[in-house]
Structure 1
Amino acid sequence: MKRFIGLLFLLGLAMAAPPGQAAPALQETPLFAKDVAAGKLPPVAERVPEDPLVVDLAARGRSIGTQGGTLRTFITRPRDVRYMVVWGYARLVAYDDKYDLHPDLLRAVDNEDDRIYTFHLRRGHRWSDGAPFTTEDFRYFWEDVALNPDLSPGGPPEVMLVDGKPPKVTVIDEVTIRYEWDTPNPRFLPALAAARPPFIYRPAHYLSQFHAKYVDPATLEPLMAERKARNWAQLHNGLDNLYNNDNPDEPTLQPWVTVSAMNSQGYELTRNPYYHRIDAEGHQLPYIDHVELTIAAAGLIPQKVTLGEADLQVRSISFSDAPVLKQGEGRGKYHTWLWSTGYGSDIALYPNQNYNDPALRELFRTADFRRALSLGVRRTTINKTLYFGLAKEANVAPLRGSPFYDPALSAAWADHDAERANAMLDALGLGKRDGDGTRLLPDGKRLEIVIESAGERPEEADAIELLAEMWAEIGVKVIYRPLDRDILRNKVYSGQSMMPVWYGWNNGLPTPEAPPVDLAPVEQTNFSWPEWGQYTQSNGLAGEPPQTDVAKRLLELFHDWERTSQDKRRREIWEEMLRIQADEVFAIGLVSAAPQPAIVADTLRNVPEQAIYAWEPGAQLGVLRMDEFWFAP
């Protein structure tokens, strides 16, 4: 039996008051002092849980902060307000800076062999509007949302199904709930700590106002007309946006609450009066009172930063902006730090094995074709040209810091060898060329590969320009097309994108406990095999099952990982899957661990000088705990 026992062992991330020792005396937040005095808001002792999460800043080299101030940062689209849920990183369980899982919103978790999970909530915890956060919110999600066919036509979240079966959910009392599967579900806790988790709770007191089980749908018709909803279910789902974060009326548990509606200028967020974390001196977090998100074109953000218009900026700036950012430090009153990215590769090409054209699809499913393309890449040139040699020249593989880091995996098919690549392509029946040296397919068409990107990163465009010259040496013509992110994804999912370029694995720092979702066809978002992943993800309702023996083997190993509760066996499964991935080159990585600029205002404290900026694990800024950042006077 495994158990997260309260918060006593959080290795410096946080702690609860030891038995017999009182929690620190709480200090009222200055921003709320007037409202408390006027009776508009309860005092802080009534706003935080009875057993709040007490962060131990000193253990991690951080300082007790001063409450107040407004943090400014830029986003590029109205929908990017959702990143405040990613960066705020209030999760049922969360990763610390060593990528270990610990309770966060929860007080504790009992884990019996990855099969039975008992959640213990914090007594007295409240939503941002002051309503109690209890197991009723979990029950509402499960019974009234996940199992309601009108609200969830596809059923419960895929991570809550094991062999297609949902768990038995038992509400024990208002702060205790149990989830029980017949067989292990080791993906459950890591999923709850994700950058985009399956929120398995909902503010029942708010959303039940729009649910046909609790109100007559006829009474909702005026609101449905106002919001242009076809029925009560569409109205409910439109207002249920814990991740999108664009409904100011929906209560949240995040450190900051959105107070402005979706618009084209930006958003204002203010501190959550009922947030569950405090420091060792009794100050309620977050330290910073307000966050301002300003919408700007991505190409203008570096210049705006140099004018002093941002206090913290990581998203939408890249290493190519570093010279301009460095020169503007004095005027902008900030400093530029170089963090490291945490993807399995910073730039990766994905031969789409579900591409619509039969001839090219067959090539993309051929390992020697993918290997030859990888051998045709001169990674040293890309690294020196784009990153001044500061990145790592590697294929897609675990990074240094992962227990699975192995230089042999990074180096597999990654050395430039045009002679060998040409010989391999010749052996595949692609020896004929036209007048400019481009190889011909068996049907006489030129071997032209269209590489498409989301058009958001200049490094991708520059890398593909260099790659076009390199692949010309092996007779492969490259055509590059930048697209909108959503258009790119839709083309990939529908088999219309030949070879998209994206990041490598989201999780470049895997551990045996992490689900190997990047390594097998289990999610549509994997550009190597979107239709196969969709088939697994939808339990066969959409897409198609894997068609190659190696993909079938990876899926089999993934399911083996899901079913075992033995750490040794999970490690063995990861190692086999990584060896297969390295040899098969399902994605062609160009460089990894690239430098990522981070702009930090001179007065902003508790922001680390060195950090890994990754989507998974860690939710980009989430694992760095933005709620602990503060402004020095």
Structure 2
Amino acid sequence: MNRFQGYEGLVRWTPDWSPSPIPNVAEAFEIGGGGRSYTFKLRKGMKWSDGKPFTADDILFWYEDVVRNTEITPVPPSWMVVGGKLGTVTKVDDLSVRFDFTQPHGLFLAQLAQPGADAPVRYAKHYLSQFHKKYNDRIDDLVKENNLSDWVQLFQNKGGSDEDSVRYGIKSQPLLHPWIFTSPPRGGSSHAIAERNPYYWKVDPQGRQLPYLDRVEYNFLQGDNTNTLTLMVLGGEIDMEDQFFATPENKSVIADGMEKGDYRLYATSPTEANEAVIQLNLTHKDPVKRQIFQNKDFRIGLSHALDRQEIIDLVLLRQGKPWQAAPRPESEYYNERLATQYTEYDVAKANQHLDKAGFTERDGGGFRTGPDGKRISIGIDLDSGRPIFVDMVQMVKDYWEAVGIHVSITSMERSLWEERVRDNADFDATIHRFGGGSGEAVVLDPRYYFPSSGNSMYAAAWQAWYNDLSGEDASAGVEKPPAAAQRQMTLYRQLLLTPDAAQRKDLMAQILQIAAEEFYVIGISLQANGYGVVRNNFHNVPKTMPASYIYPNPAPSNPEQFFIRT
């Protein structure tokens, strides 16, 4: 929903995604103390969607009564923590607040501009305080009336939750967004309606109040409905969309149907590290598979075994370029070695590296055997909702089996896949995408460059150690990483404390150089430009926009200024 409905934080990205965020809900901001202090001046006269004033007290309510309340927030937002210490928020006056940190917070503004970091301006005190035990002596009665287990569940169900369907989908909850849900997207719903916020605070250059559109309707398709969505596009049933149906193989069909469907195309410029990233589980629970997958020569051999150009020709319809998971050529963080190494399709080199890894023996079926004498087999788990991955992995299987590595494939519904590969020590490998490939996304989402977050599925136990989830405990899925990864983690922590952009760039360059040496994951292709569709009577949609969750398109392109004219 934040991609369209609710991108209204203190600061925001510009439509063209300039490196520095600009004021949004905040009218202005000042940086002090060498990056230790950030003061935000709020806009005079701003109101919540129910007409009540929005002031600094609302931000203080979020900080004092939500973030610092461990019942509601057992783990504080990562962007509020520097050097392991939670920052503080102080009310300067009714229209000013100051965020202070014990150390410089180099990425604070960039992190505030991301989706999900709108929390400081999403908790209306006059509304949510009635569901908070600090402010309501009858809170236990309300819990019983709503058939809930405790006051925290009540608070979260009434809007005090980070879950999208809650944070945007409570009819009575006041928000600062251009549209407010009148028919919310609650669990399993197939349809949702949001209507104009009469107190929305933005105006167009002529002084007319936004948004232009009176209402926005969402249709939710359950499971893998790529074909259904494609047919809806061709039938002219969708005003604007650029996800799920917009695959390379669909582009010619979608382009041919423009006149009949009465729509046009817009371009989405890629910002991700790769079209598809193969991730072997380097912290596998099985010690034998762990030993095999952590062998760099093994991974290099698998990489040389891939005919990337054939995958690009057949699956991506010649749209792409052999590429590892790396910043894009136009990125200021581009590292040629990381991007291009081991991308040559060479079966002889593949076999040489697999032999060098020590796996020279083969079983009766011609497959290589591991240190336990058993056949080396890689099970690849896939999200069935991404058909490109499904098509690619069939070819990957053939390439790897040609050099003696057995492969099995399991395709599953997205929620099952998420459960299977995130923080799970038992899966062998998976394929995913995203990750920072251009702009500030390289720094904000370095998932493939070192084990930095739960999205670093190739080394869940190492990223857990980095993020101090539960101490070093292999049985709990937490493990001290190798020295090279620890060096990257030290550099990234230093980067987070660096307000100077040039110094941050140098630190990130060092992290990427180590990533090139370690070669954690295997990429397939540099992403080509994507596309979306917009009906011909739907206006003010840019001809091109960055495509990224961090951006998060189309929100920074100002959907409140989109309009329909027949």
Please indicate, yes or no, whether the TM-score normalized by the shorter chain is above 0.5: yes
Output the CA distance in 2 between the equivalents of 1:419 and 1:395: 20
**Structure 2 residue identity aligned to 1:467:** V
Matches within 5 A, 1:285-434: 285-297=210-222, 298-299=225-226, 300-317=228-245, 318-434=247-363
Matches within 5 A, 1:154-173: 154=75, 156-173=76-93
Identity of aligned residues (%): 28
- Out of 184-193 and 223-232, give the one that drifted further: 223-232
Q: Is 1:585 aligned to 2:527, yes or no?
A: no
Structure 1 residue 504: Cα displacement: 4.2
Output the CA distance in 2 between the equivalents of 1:601 and 1:243: 31
Output the CA distance in 1 between the equivalents of 2:426 and 2:148: 32
**Structure 2 residue identity aligned to 1:609:** K
Output the CA distance in 2 between the equivalents of 1:578 and 1:158: 22
In structure 2, the residue matched to 1:45 is: none
In structure 1, the residue matched to 2:382 is: 453
Output the CA distance in 2 between the equivalents of 1:200 and 1:446: 54
Q: Is 1:250 aligned to 2:168, yes or no?
A: no
Output the CA distance in 2 between the equivalents of 1:310 and 1:192: 31
Match of 1:345, SS state, is coil
Match of 1:403, SS state, is coil
CA spacing shift, 1:166–1:344, aligned 2, 3 Å: same
Output the CA distance in 2 between the equivalents of 1:512 and 1:347: 17
Match among 184, 204, 212 for residue 279 of structure 1: 204
- Out of 400-409 and 159-168, give the one that drifted further: 400-409
Output the CA distance in 2 between the equivalents of 1:268 and 1:584: 48
Output the CA distance in 2 between the equivalents of 1:84 and 1:568: 33
Matches within 5 A, 1:148-297: 148-154=69-75, 156-197=76-117, 199-201=119-121, 202-216=123-137, 218-221=138-141, 223-225=142-144, 227-239=146-158, 240-241=160-161, 244=164, 245-261=168-184, 262=186, 264-297=189-222
Output the CA distance in 2 between the equivalents of 1:427 and 1:345: 28
**Structure 2 residue identity aligned to 1:93:** V
CA spacing shift, 1:490–1:198, aligned 2, 3 Å: farther
Match of 2:52, SS state, is coil
Output the CA distance in 2 between the equivalents of 1:238 and 1:354: 37
In structure 2, the residue matched to 1:561 is: 495
Structure 1 residue 549: Cα displacement: 1.4
CA-to-partner distance for each residue in 1:124-170, whole Å, 9 max, x for gaps?
1111111211111111111101111211122x212211121122321
**Structure 2 residue identity aligned to 1:237:** Q
Structure 1 residue 568: Cα displacement: 3.0
In structure 2, the residue matched to 1:62 is: none
Q: Is 1:444 aligned to 2:373, yes or no?
A: yes
Structure 1 residue 545: Cα displacement: 4.2
In structure 2, the residue matched to 1:632 is: 565
Check whether the contact 1:164–1:539 (CA below 8 A) recurs between aligned residues.
no
Match of 1:142, SS state, is helix
Q: Is 1:527 aligned to 2:447, yes or no?
A: no
In structure 1, the residue matched to 2:7 is: 89
Q: Is 1:495 aligned to 2:464, yes or no?
A: no
Check whether the contact 2:464–2:478 (CA below 8 A) recurs between aligned residues.
yes
CA-based RMSD of the aligned residues comes to 2.1
**Structure 1 residue identity aligned to 2:309:** T
CA spacing shift, 1:489–1:168, aligned 2, 3 Å: same
Structure 1 residue 291: Cα displacement: 0.9
Output the CA distance in 1 between the equivalents of 2:424 and 2:377: 20
Matches within 5 A, 1:15-164: 81=1, 83-85=3-5, 88-96=6-14, 97-100=16-19, 101-112=21-32, 113-154=34-75, 156-164=76-84
Structure 1 residue 331: Cα displacement: 2.7
Output the CA distance in 1 between the equivalents of 2:434 and 2:161: 28
Structure 1 residue 532: Cα displacement: 2.5
Output the CA distance in 2 between the equivalents of 1:352 and 1:596: 29
Structure 1 residue 403: Cα displacement: 1.0
TM-score, structure 1 normalization: 0.82
Q: How many residues align?
A: 546
Output the CA distance in 1 between the equivalents of 2:394 and 2:56: 54
- Out of 469-478 and 302-311, give the one that drifted further: 469-478
CA-to-partner distance for each residue in 1:520-572, whole Å, 9 max, x for gaps?
33322221222322333355467524321121111111111122333332111
Output the CA distance in 2 between the equivalents of 1:133 and 1:538: 36
In structure 2, the residue matched to 1:28 is: none
**Structure 1 residue identity aligned to 2:450:** A
CA spacing shift, 1:536–1:514, aligned 2, 3 Å: same
Match among 619, 629, 632 for residue 552 of structure 2: 619
Check whether the contact 2:182–2:194 (CA below 8 A) recurs between aligned residues.
yes
Output the CA distance in 1 between the equivalents of 2:102 and 2:547: 37
Check whether the contact 1:455–1:485 (CA below 8 A) recurs between aligned residues.
yes
CA-to-partner distance for each residue in 1:360-415, whole Å, 9 max, x for gaps?
11222222222222222111111111222222321111113321224443212222
Structure 1 residue 83: Cα displacement: 4.6
CA spacing shift, 1:601–1:272, aligned 2, 3 Å: same
Check whether the contact 1:512–1:567 (CA below 8 A) recurs between aligned residues.
no
Output the CA distance in 2 between the equivalents of 1:437 and 1:510: 46
Runs of 4+ in 1 over 6 A off after TM superposition: none
Output the CA distance in 2 between the equivalents of 1:433 and 1:198: 56
Q: Which runs of 5+ in 2 are unaligned?
A: none
Check whether the contact 2:233–2:261 (CA below 8 A) recurs between aligned residues.
yes
CA spacing shift, 1:391–1:228, aligned 2, 3 Å: farther
Output the CA distance in 2 between the equivalents of 1:337 and 1:458: 22
Structure 1 residue 501: Cα displacement: 0.9
Match of 1:377, SS state, is coil
